[in-house]
Amino acid sequence: MSEEAKTREQICVLAKSLFDRGLTAGSTGNISVRLSDGRFIITPTGSSFGRLDPARLSLCDANMNLLQGDAPTIEVPLHSAFYETRGATTGAVVHLHSCHSVALSMLPDTDPDNMLPPITAYRVIRLGKVKLLPFFLPGDAAMGNAIRGLAGKRSAVVLANHGPVVAGKDLEAAVYSVEELEESAKLTLMTRGMNPVFLNDSQINGLVTKFDVQWDD
């Protein structure tokens, strides 16, 4: 099976797993994967993660112009910005409308520079600091400009009142990270007002050093 065929199948399998567990609903969310030849496979606009057809996924050139398949997600500028600014470290981008991360994005005391507290080791390892970006209209090219403004320093962001976007070295890594983001947001909301004990600076520094986490701004 070719790389392209394997990637098409993997996108559909992992997207359905996310959909079946309620991490995105209806026709929300989108995924892109960069192939070794620089082309992209992207989920189509208006499609449901629960019923993706491998043959109908969008095949795009290196500039994300459609070559084959259905029209890609309207969030292409968002994906493109991650690939442009993070270079070879990014092989896939996953965007969801997951409930707990969206809820956390709407609370007035959420820290926009690092919206998830250091609640677990894997929250630090998989995500680094998570930037909260302001609200944009869906498909607005300004989302891409906001990502470019981070200069590749963040692999994970949350769009206010919208949802998380995570870049990873490959699709599996990006999916694991966006799942970690949602679980961390859930834990943050569950323990809110209970004076939870987060990881301290020494523990965070130990994780950052051992696992080569991008943590500084």
Residue 62 lies in a domain: yes
Residue 46 lies in a domain: yes
pTM of the model: 0.96
> Measuring CA to CA, which residue among 145, 169, 180, 162 is closest to residue 33?
169
Structural domains of the chain, count: 1
User: Is the pLDDT confidence value at 67 over 80?
Assistant: yes
Residue 182 lies in a domain: yes
Residue 149 lies in a domain: yes
Any idea what the CATH number is for the domain that residue 68 is in? 3.40.225.10
pLDDT tens per residue across span 78-113: 999 999 999 999 999 999 999 999 999 999 999 999
Give the position of tokens 């795009």.
60
pLDDT tens per residue across span 143-159: 999 999 999 999 999 99
Is 176 catalytic? The answer is no
Residue 216 lies in a domain: no
Residue count (the chain): 217
84, 122, 172, 179: the catalytic one is 122
Residue 65 lies in a domain: yes
Residue 12 lies in a domain: yes
Containing structural domain, residue 47: 3-210
3, 9, 75, 179: the catalytic one is 75
User: CA-CA distance, 209 to 212, in Å (whole number)?
Assistant: 5
Structure tokens at 105: 């994005």
User: CA-CA distance, 16 to 3, in Å (whole number)?
Assistant: 20
Contact 70, 56 (CB under 8 A): yes
Residue 217 lies in a domain: no
